[in-house]
Amino acid sequence: MMNYFLSTICLFFIFSDTCSQSLETKLLGKWKLARDEGFEFFINAPESQNQPTDQQEAFFELMERFHNQSFKNFFSLHSMTSTVLDGKNILQEKSIWNLREADSVITWTSQFQPKVLQAKIIKLTENELILTYLLQDQTLGRFKTHYEKVIDESPLKEKSPR
C-alpha cells in the first residue's frame, strides 16, 4: 500500500512539472517552417501573377529553396537562430531572444537587417508552433507562420542486427 501511495505522489509531481513548463522552455528546440500564409497570399496576388513567367519561376524557385531550409532554432534560453534571405543566399542568423509571458510575444533583434522583430505565439504544442508577426504599432499582422518541431534523429542510434 505504501509503494502505491509513493508511486502516486511521484507521478503527480512529474505530471505537474510537465504541465507547468514555461513557454520559454516549451519553445526550446528546432522548428521547421511548414506553412507561410503571407507567402501564399503574395503568390496568388494579381501583382505577382502579372510578372513575366521567367521572373515568376526564378522567384518561386528561390522561395521554395528558402522555405525548405527555413528554421527557427531556440537552442537555449535567450539564444536562437533563424533563417534569413540575403539576395539569393539563405543564411542562419544568430540572435538573442526573450519572451513576454504576459501576452506570449517573442522579441529578437535581427542583425542582418538591423531591427527588432516581434511575433505573438498563437499556438504552441509539443509539435506545433504558430506565430503571427507584430506590426510596428504592436497590432497583429494579417498572416500566420506555421512551424513543426524537428525530431532529433541522432546518427548514433543503434541499428538492429540483420
- Please answer whether residues 107 and 97 qualify as being in contact, where contact means their C-beta atoms are separated by less than 8 angstroms: yes
Q: Count the domains in the chain.
A: 1
* pLDDT per residue of the chain (162 residues) written in tens, 0 to 9: 555 544 545 444 444 444 457 999 999 999 999 999 999 999 999 998 899 999 999 999 999 999 999 999 999 999 999 999 998 999 999 999 999 999 999 999 988 888 999 999 999 999 999 999 999 999 999 999 999 999 876 555 444 444
The Cα-based distances of 144 to 19, 97, 106, 121 in angstroms read: 26, 20, 14, 10
Q: 11 lies in a domain? A: no
Q: 67 lies in a domain? A: yes
Q: 79 lies in a domain? A: yes
Which CATH number covers residue 140?
2.40.128.280
Count of positions (residues) in the chain = 162
- How far is it, in rounded angstroms, from Cα 154 to Cα 162? 20
